[in-house]
Amino acid sequence: MQTSLKKGISVLVCSFNGADRLPQTIAHLARQVVQENVEWEIILVDNASTDNTSQVAKGEWKKHRVHHVDFSIVFEPRPGKINALETGTKHCKYEYFIICDDDNWLCDSYVQKTYELLEKDPRIGAVGGQAFPVSDTGVLPEWFDHYKEGYAVGQQAADKGDVTKRGFVFGAGLGTRTRLYQAAYEKFPSLLIGRQGYKLSAGEDAEYCQRLILRNYRLYYEPTLTFKHYLPTHRLQENYRDRLYAGLQDADQILETYYMINRFRRKVRHNFLNKARLLIIVPFRILFARSRNTVNNEMKLLMYLLDIQSKKDRNFDSIRKFEKTESF
């Protein structure tokens, strides 16, 4: 971890075998309009690529002759975006950073606007923007609109502002604070690492946002932070879609525990009377519950209220332990 961070913003481009996708992504980064008093850099994290990702990235950036912006490349041999982000943030020079996937084409003002939003309000933990899909053929499948959120595409709210209650902003294009991200995982590794059976990992954006909410930071949506999300033909096939959503559903089994604990916090935080009321009525709700799922949820609420470990649910206990550590 860097011992000191400078005022400014880093752009992390995490890429696995992205040689074919990177030229457009880098071209859009080269066109960023950033005020002279705002320092920024680009860090490409080559995430266990087996193609010539690093060489292509270096060559493409050189073409644009943007000499005032540092462009560096680091290699992360462990596959997975969480690992790539962990390595990338260790190399950030600046207080803020943007997650720019290797298929994200950021609008010209993206870096400047993200910097301004994070600089304006220290309680904003993460900022999200609006993505528009771009395909090779210009045509999207009929089913795409129904599944677009899984592709991190579309509006994230009806209007700009606080979207903390939504629970997450898309990881693609997400802007956040470098120290905050480092602290979120420094002593508590992601609970999503180590899942088996899916080649497409998912959910790391929601987990990070939930950890921010547990520490009383807000999520913010700004629809003028726009970017194009390039979707090559193979990612618009039904088999890819199904694998993507299988990974999301797999992650949801863990993420739901985060959502549950944050719901519990909202009910009792700074409200002793509500906590006392729940301690009285929850045992009765357990006694008269009609389903096993209701019993399990009410039992977890009771354990939360009494600060008792679950022992049967390691994720519940791990998230509670994270919640109770010192604020960062």
Chain centre to alpha carbon of residue 17: 21
Q: How far apart are the first and last CA of the chain?
A: 15
The CA angle 212-215-218, to the nearest 5 degrees, is: 55
pLDDT tens digits, residue range 263-287? 999 999 888 999 999 999 999 999 9
Can you read off the two tokens belonging to residue 253? 């089994």
pLDDT tens digits, residue range 105-135? 999 999 999 999 999 999 999 999 999 999 9
pTM of the entire predicted model: 0.92
Which residues of the chain fall below pLDDT 50?
1, 195-199
DSSP type of residue 7? E
Domains of the chain plus CATH, in order, are: 6-252 (3.90.550.10), 270-324 (no CATH)
**Residue 183 to residues 177, 186, 214, 326, 327: CA-CA distances in angstroms?**
10, 5, 13, 11, 9
